Structure 1
Amino acid sequence: MQSPLFSLTEQQSQERYTLQNPQLLRVLLEGQDDILARKGAMVAYQGLMEFDGEIQNMTQQRARAYTGEGLDLMRCHGQGTVYLANLAQHIHVMDVEQEGLTVDSGYVLALDSSLHYEVVAVDSQYGISGSGKYQLVITGRGKVALMTSGQPLMLQVTPDRYVNADADAIVAWSNSLRVQMQAQTHSSGVWRRRGNTGEGWELSFMGQGFALVQPSELLPPQNAVIGQGLRAQYGMGQQGARGQNQGNVWQ
């Protein structure tokens, strides 16, 4: 049997995290160091591997119930390699240093079990669709695998060069930055998502650090629930702020 497919063999590496291709992550486990991965993200594995549900503590459960932000994770442990993917999203591995990382939970594919995460509020008086007023702060030392729709852009933020990003396109940013949420237009109808301009809300980043932006204003349509009525149309109902379909994929 012959086919170009036989050239798509696994990447040989001793690194813990290796990109098999832009949409497929290979993780090497050696028995002592578990990883936490998005539920259902395993597409294949080799070796003696086990997958268990990751139980949230009471603080995490309360934060999830109140904000809608959180991670649905499984614990991967054993000896071998596991391959992770989600809806053919582009995958990017980042080192979390002392500075820490803020990210929307919808973009997290996997992370080292040694890392700590908690829900924080972003400055806003509104609950908007997409990256809303609650985010995850990841701290500690380790690696996290993020997902984007397409190849993203990493923007450097300096004290003399701040960055504004669409709230539906921002993926992550460094914890050292000061963040403000504001309307992208001063129209009196700004509460209506995208109103007459096609734009809605933006995040302004100031200080020293980075902001990661994807070339899309939509989250992956996982567990999408079609909204109903005018509120859903403008990102304020079941399909909007903290709803299952946060990116308004079905509008």
Structure 2
Amino acid sequence: MATLTSSGLSKSFGGLRAVQNVSFTARPGRILSIIGPNGAGKTTVFNLLTGFIPSDAGTVQLDDRSLAGMSPEDRCRAGLARTFQVVQPFRGLTVLENVVMGAMLRTASIAEAREAAAAVLDDLGMSRLAGMRAGSLPIGDRKRLEMAKVLATRPKVLLLDEVMGGLIPIEVQRMIAFIQGLRDRGLAVVVIEHHMNAVMRLSDEILVLQNGEPIAQGSPEEIARDPKVLSAYLGPNFKADGGL
């Protein structure tokens, strides 16, 4: 497992300041959630961490290793992997074949990749879907497939971008339990999520962004009563135990 550290991460697009001075540490066996209004810069932070866009300032490290100048593929090989908010499976391939694509990052053997992919699908309770075409899956199963593809790369740090979006309550409950299980195995997990009651149940720590800048960071209990967060995002009537 590994620790992910962001220090002073910043990015502007022309005159628009998308991310400004974002710093945090994601540690093994802990879940850090990044929340904030739409347009707060959350997904841009993920794009900066994973090398999909270059930063203007700041550093990203995996343990003591700087990721500066590394491509998204090389960062994934180093152990930093992510899901995407808009899931885009290889629609014409089966579920198993999709996951094999992720497993091929770690082996040149198709047989080994298929074995690893089958194990990931079993872990997610998706073995019965292995032979289905990915394009035929409903949104809940496509979200789980996105998770399976990423887990097949054997990440040390996992970035999850709204994996609960569009899920029905029972699917949210299952996803929460699965993510908690990943934490219990020692992964460092960073979550972007708008499902606030799920965030409050999942998180060991929460970072709140507004207009690209951190406005608060702390435990779920601290965030749920922070006046700046209540004003900017959660609203004055927010209750952390509001149910799912």
TM-score w.r.t. length of structure 2: 0.26
Highest CA radius of gyration, 1 or 2? Answer: 1
**Richer in strand (by share):** 1
**Richer in helix (by share):** 2
